[in-house]
Structure 1
Amino acid sequence: MPRLCVFEVIGVPGSYEKVSYSILGESMREEAYTRDAVLPADVLCSSSSDECYTVLLAPEALAASIAETPSEAVDLASNWRKLETLLGELYSSVLESPEKIEVKALPSYGVFYGGNNLELSIYGPEYGDLELSIFMAMLEALGQYSCDRVVLDTSVGYNIYVSAASRAFRTLVVAYKLGILDRLLLGGDKYAKFYVSAASPVRRGYKGPYPLSLQEVGAKIFPSFPLLSSAISGLKPESFISYSSLKRCPCIDETDLDRVLPGLKAETGRKWGRLVASLKVFLKQGLKLFTALRLNTPLVLYQPDIVLDEEPPGQGEVEEAINGLMEFIASEAWRTIKSAVDEGRAVVCRLAATRSTSLYTILALLETMSLIRLARHLMSRRAGGMVPLRELEWFKEEVYEGRHEFAEELRLNARMLERDLKELKLASTRLSQQCQLYSTLRGPVEEQKQRQSREDSRKLRRGKPMAGDIKRNFFAHSGLLDSIVNVCKSGDEITVTYTLDENMKKQLNSWLLSPE
């Protein structure tokens, strides 16, 4: 059965009236479905024949509204599982499908008020933390429920969280496409659709019906890898955490901060150092595979076991790394460091996340996972470790030319590859042995180029400077550098493969990491 996921930012329990909502038809004019509900998410679920899952996004600031004392507010703000359970019980009683409702707590910042003059101040997180935490909650739910349609309702909830949710939702579309990039490029015809819904503002005393409209959301994927090689090399556990956020906390003075910070960083490094080290290995593999795809060198994708200094990991290993990173960010980046209660006023001081590093690392890992699947699929199409020439021609037609929408987003261009495959095919007609180095098959007109290529290759293998720019030539000729490619004939089949010594493999890996 198809599955529908609905995300909604919630506010104070009991603050929403039950009113009538009408979901508009495709024309956005005729009423297609009308029902009374407390939250629009409930209407979206009940109107669909799909199996529906509702994820309620709950700012931790709600602790001020449901707590009876400052101490209880601090406890709920510092214990998100407890807050999620309590809010889940409160909202499940007014929604139609309580067994398929999940509450995800979000970090907050600012001053919030509750009953009995209760005041809750939260220091540390910023707007970027809201966006990152919502994105992670959405990504986790998308993986857990495998939804075919995904809707973000923006009708209710605190404004700043709805704003952050809208930004996170567009990033979720990008993340989803990066995570299934192999399917998109190889012709997978089934993938999720994303929508934003919004209802007219509810007026006091008017029970509706209020029109609820849906619009599909799209987002383009990056034409570059989310992280540069230098950024990957510099990753450390503390790269994902903003310790400076504690400076804004009134109950932590600078003396305490200077004393506490070294211990916090050391503890984080000990606990999560191994995870980050494995992330760096995976990310470097992903960057190399992306460079091969983006710069038209598909033979690398067919032979990563020959070209790369480490064989690509399994999909399960990368998935585990993504989940581990999100667990690390959720448990460490928004950890409460100090709290205080004084005469009706509660203060919570916590760390914050480094939004850009955290977000782009997650996106890069998702793209790495799909590129590894792509490479493993292409490896399975080889003939005894060799790559048939027809395979490279198929890849050009299927990926670089056949998937116009996604090839355009990645800015793939098959023109150079088409030229180089024609040259390789022509050269293969000169085979006088079963296998020959590509450079020996060039025509007499290119004799000077052959000599220069062989000389460059010899110098490269000896680690000496070259007269020509062999790195530039590698990418300019679609990775089919004649000094490192063997051309073979088996029956009517022409096959190619890289022939690399350790020094050449090292050079090639450095080019794929930094093609500029």
Structure 2
Amino acid sequence: MDILIYQVLGKLSGYSNVSYEINGFIEKDVKLSSEALYSFHAKNNHNPKIVYVCPNSLYTKQNIREYLTNPVLLEKELHDEISSISVYEDFDILVINAIGNYKIGGEEVSFENTPGNVSIRLFLDMLERVKKYDGKVKLIADISTGHNIYIAAMLEALRAIIVYDKLRNGITGKKVDAAYAIAEPVGPNSESPRRIFVNEYDVKAFFTLPIKTQNLDSISKLEYYVERSDTKQKIRCETEDERRRLKNLLENLVKAFNSIKYNVPLALYTSAIDFSQDADILERKLIDFLLKVTKPVFNENRVAVTSLKWKDLFNLFYSLALFKWMSNEMGDLKEKDRASITELKKKTIQIYSKLGLLLNKRFLERDLSEIYDKKDRIPEEWACLKNLYPEEGMQGPLSVSDSKRNFFAHSGLERTMVEVRKYKEEIELRYMQEQLDLISKWLFNPED
């Protein structure tokens, strides 16, 4: 298994040689607890990697403007310094924007940032790294060192990546296992091994929509996620294409989600729901945008970073994850515009079982069985489903409200909107083409 070990560093010097103990394994004469975690997993035939999280306030030399606003230069500088204290070379540096006031190169420097920004930056790094691995990944947040602000932000990022991963893989599936590690304090008697406690870390994820549909116009605009009002107009102009694509994706996510939640699976086989948009490309553009707008700006001994609406951003990433999963599960269905009862039942019940939607499963089986029981009446040419129920032919036309009620009450198989035919050994269903706009509207707002 691939292991990613994140540790926040609060300083670059002054560490003592310490022996650490993990589940009976002892690593001697290392300075950082992450090194012991690295060695422990390497000797257990895993593939570990350390990521040292370094606030840019750790830089204490001259030319602070050049380094503090250029993470690439700063990363190289910090990498050289950490190499002098770490016995393992297999580590990366993640530079994050600091919070607080520090003396650097003889100058007082104020770092203006938020814990939410830090958690977003850590989340983005975890997300990018996890994507590179094909198999399972274990993320370990080593919280033995570093300022409390950064530790809290790292745990928030770890929580977010767990939720993202579960939504991306259908709630019950997951690619990421997570844990946090904490070492006993290093006291005067540094000869005795200090225990490292590794605790599994998990949070629940539910099949719920991460966004509110009434806010769709706002949350589709990237400037919405930036607190600074003076930059919003510029961002609005530069990200117009992203806004249109994001809004389209979120609208289709809402409809796809509701088709499952409200048990309307046949809609997934129609053009009413569009899974063609590449959520990975849009996610990449979002990541690039966030890295750009949070680049530090040095001005009169202030290193300022644009504040982000981090909770809303996490919900946006959760939405992208959910869309990806649904697209993978159902993206090819729309090309058919129809489904056999056998296929619809098999595919949909498989999805419902993954999500624990047992009532939906029961009602769908009931409604499909009712149609199948009338197979002797079904012609080989497409016919309206209501024709199978001649005993109801004397009733007047249904009102729109009656149709909508019947639509959601009977697994989306409203008799005046569905066509049926016998094809080879199967019974096929499809929606009437002229009804798709209305179905799309209902799915977007079922409760209206």
Map of 1:165 onto structure 2:
154
Map of 1:236 onto structure 2:
221
Sequence identity (%): 24
Aligned mates of 1:290, 1:392 — CA distance in 2: 17
TM-score (norm 1): 0.79
Change (3 A) 1:358 1:207: same
**Preserved CA contact (<8 Å) 1:92 1:101:** no
Please list, as runs of the form range in 1=range in 2, the aligned pairs for 1:209-288 lying within 5 A after superposition. 209-234=193-218, 235-243=220-228, 261=230, 264-288=231-255
Change (3 A) 1:58 1:470: farther
Please list, as runs of the form range in 1=range in 2, the aligned pairs for 1:382-393 lying within 5 A after superposition. 385-393=337-345
Aligned mates of 2:101, 2:427 — CA distance in 1: 70
Please list, as runs of the form range in 1=range in 2, the aligned pairs for 1:149-228 lying within 5 A after superposition. 149-181=138-170, 191-228=175-212
Aligned mates of 2:284, 2:441 — CA distance in 1: 29
Aligned mates of 2:444, 2:64 — CA distance in 1: 49
Aligned mates of 1:191, 1:337 — CA distance in 2: 37
Aligned mates of 1:425, 1:233 — CA distance in 2: 43
**Preserved CA contact (<8 Å) 2:100 2:111:** yes
Map of 1:428 onto structure 2:
375
Q: How far is the alpha carbon of 1:485 from its aligned partner?
A: 1.3
TM-score (norm 2): 0.90
**Preserved CA contact (<8 Å) 2:258 2:443:** yes
Map of 2:328 onto structure 1:
373
1:282-316 CA distance string (max 9 Å, x none): 22222221111222222122x14x323xx4225xx
Map of 2:95 onto structure 1:
105
Q: SS of 1:67's equivalent?
A: coil
**Preserved CA contact (<8 Å) 2:75 2:94:** yes
Matching of residue 59 in structure 1 with residue 55 in structure 2: yes
Change (3 A) 1:108 1:393: same
Aligned mates of 2:344, 2:247 — CA distance in 1: 30
Aligned mates of 1:478, 1:131 — CA distance in 2: 41
2:276 aligned to 298, 308, 313, which one? 313
Q: SS of 1:307's equivalent?
A: coil
Map of 1:475 onto structure 2:
408
Change (3 A) 1:22 1:129: same
Q: SS of 1:414's equivalent?
A: helix
Q: How far is the alpha carbon of 1:505 from its aligned partner?
A: 2.1
Change (3 A) 1:511 1:467: closer
Q: SS of 1:128's equivalent?
A: helix
Map of 1:17 onto structure 2:
16
**Preserved CA contact (<8 Å) 1:282 1:313:** no
Aligned mates of 2:145, 2:93 — CA distance in 1: 15
Letter aligned with residue 250 of structure 2: L
**Preserved CA contact (<8 Å) 1:436 1:486:** yes
Q: SS of 2:14's equivalent?
A: coil
Q: How far is the alpha carbon of 1:241 from its aligned partner?
A: 0.7
Aligned mates of 1:412, 1:370 — CA distance in 2: 22
Q: How far is the alpha carbon of 1:432 from its aligned partner?
A: 4.2
1:418 aligned to 365, 375, 380, which one? 365
Matching of residue 86 in structure 1 with residue 77 in structure 2: yes
Aligned mates of 2:175, 2:298 — CA distance in 1: 45
Aligned mates of 1:339, 1:373 — CA distance in 2: 47
**Preserved CA contact (<8 Å) 1:112 1:119:** yes
Over the aligned positions, Cα root-mean-square deviation in angstroms equals: 2.5
**Preserved CA contact (<8 Å) 2:38 2:48:** yes
**Preserved CA contact (<8 Å) 2:31 2:85:** yes
Q: How far is the alpha carbon of 1:109 from its aligned partner?
A: 2.5
Map of 1:323 onto structure 2:
284
How many residues are treated as equivalent by the alignment?
442
Change (3 A) 1:272 1:467: closer
Please list, as runs of the form range in 1=range in 2, the aligned pairs for 1:282-301 lying within 5 A after superposition. 282-301=249-268
**Preserved CA contact (<8 Å) 1:428 1:487:** no
Letter aligned with residue 442 of structure 2: W
Letter aligned with residue 418 of structure 2: V
Change (3 A) 1:92 1:220: same
Map of 2:5 onto structure 1:
6
Matching of residue 40 in structure 1 with residue 29 in structure 2: no
Q: SS of 1:162's equivalent?
A: helix
- Gapped regions of structure 1 (runs ≥ 5): 25-30, 245-260, 341-345, 457-465
- Gapped regions of structure 2 (runs ≥ 5): none
Q: How far is the alpha carbon of 1:159 from its aligned partner?
A: 1.2
Aligned mates of 2:318, 2:132 — CA distance in 1: 17
